[in-house]
Amino acid sequence: MANLFSLTTSEFDKRWPEIEEALRDWYAAETATSFDKAVEQASRRYDGDDEVQEDDEGTIWDDIPELDSKRVVEALSEIEPMLGETIPVEVIKPGGYASADEFVDDLRKKLRAKCRPDTDVVRTSPSSSPPRHAQP
C-alpha cells in the first residue's frame, strides 16, 4: 500500500482519538440494526417453553462477519473530513469485520500506513539556509 496522504504519521496520531471515537460510534449504530437482531434470533433455537437454546451444530450465520465490507464504505466517507484526505476503498478488509476492535484496529493500521513518515518532513531553519556570499 503506497503512501498517499499528505498527513504525517504524527499528525495522524493527533487526530486518531477523534477518528476512533467516530468509527466506534458508527460501528455500534450499524450493528444495532434490526437485520442483525434477526440474524441473532435465526441463529438460536427455541424449545416449547420459548427458552433460548444455542444451536450446538452452528448455523449458516456463524461465518458471516458482524459488519460486511460494503457497509464500511459509509464509515470512510464520515471520517474523510477529519483526515482531510480521500480514503481509498482498498483499506477495507475484504469480507468485513467480526468485531468493533478488529474494525478499528485494521483501519488504524492501514490508514496510518498511508501517511508520510515524520522524517519526510523538510524543516527549514535559519541555520540550514545556504551561506550568503558577499558581492564584490
State pLDDT tens for residues 44-70. 655 455 555 555 566 665 666 778 888
| Beta bridge pairs of residue 45 | 53
Tell me how far apart the alpha carbons of residues 37 and 41 are, in angstroms, rounded to a whole number.
6
Give me the pLDDT at residue 57, please: 65
Give me the pLDDT at residue 30, please: 87
Tell me how far apart the alpha carbons of residues 94 and 69 are, in angstroms, rounded to a whole number.
6
Would residue 84 count as lying in a domain?
yes
pLDDT beneath 50, residues of the chain: 47
Give me the pLDDT at residue 68, please: 81
Would residue 134 count as lying in a domain?
no
Domain encompassing residue 77: 9-30+67-118
Q: What is the pTM of this model?
A: 0.68
| Beta bridge pairs of residue 67 | 97
Would residue 80 count as lying in a domain?
yes
Would residue 40 count as lying in a domain?
no
Domains held by the chain: number: 1
